[in-house]
Amino acid sequence: MYLRHVLRIIMMLSAAVTTMAQQTSAALPPAGFQFTGTWDCVGSFANGKPHHSTFNGSLVLKNTWIRLEESDVSPASGYVAEYLIGYDASTRKVVEYDANNFSGATYTSDEGWQGSALTLTSAIASDPKASYQQNRFIFHVDSPDTFTMDWQVRRTSAPEWTPADHLPCKRISPKQ
């Protein structure tokens, strides 16, 4: 009787540890890729105007969260941001906290990384005067030293997403 009880506890603990590992891994990029280092990102906004940014990436909080710091080079708007991407156990979702010098936002993903892509979506805007109803960021790993970040918006409740920013990034300094 005692042995059965101990075995049942061991099985439950094993399942809990496996679940926690799977949840944390849902927030981490595909094997062989890390966001660590410095990135040069050159792309364009949907209106065709160029967009040039630098990103600095690191792993924080015992390597369980990704921190990306963005600083726009062009346009010279002064835009700077810090993004934290990780697994939120309370919501059971991958989340991105976006703090920037213009605003702040939270994005979520129920699925986490799907192959080489992570899609993080905002809540639907409650302000009817908002310039868009919803927005999302799609991170796509292209190779060990390149990724693309796409920003898309929904202007109405229609299911179509409209491209807003396309930013291919190349690592320019080693992983830290």
Q: What is the CATH number of the domain that holds 59?
A: 2.40.128.20
At 155, is the pLDDT very low, low, confident or very high (cuts 50, 70, 90)?
Answer: confident
pLDDT given at position 45: 96
At 71, is the pLDDT very low, low, confident or very high (cuts 50, 70, 90)?
Answer: very high
Q: How many other CB atoms sit within 10 Å of the CB of residue 28? A: 22
**CB-based burial label for 9 (10 Å; 0-12, 13-18, 19+):** exposed
Asked, for residue 90, whether it belongs to a domain, the answer is yes
Domain that holds residue 81: 2-171
pLDDT given at position 152: 97
Over residues 79-98, the pLDDT tens digits come to 999 999 999 999 999 999 99
Asked, for residue 176, whether it belongs to a domain, the answer is no
How many folded domains does the chain comprise?
1
Asked whether 61 and 35 are in contact (CB, 8 A), the reply is no
Q: Quick one: average pLDDT of 107-119? A: 95
pLDDT given at position 32: 86
Q: Quick one: average pLDDT of 156-171? A: 92
Over residues 22-50, the pLDDT tens digits come to 445 677 788 889 999 999 999 999 999 99
Q: Write out the two tokens for 90.
A: 């309370």
Separation CA 31–CA 141 (nearest Å)? 10
Which percentage of the chain shows pLDDT scores above 90?
67
Answer whether the bond into residue 75 is a cis peptide, omega within 30°.
yes
The average confidence (pLDDT) of the chain is 86
pLDDT given at position 161: 96
Q: Quick one: average pLDDT of 101-110? A: 93
Q: What is the pTM of this model?
A: 0.83
pLDDT at 2 over 90: no
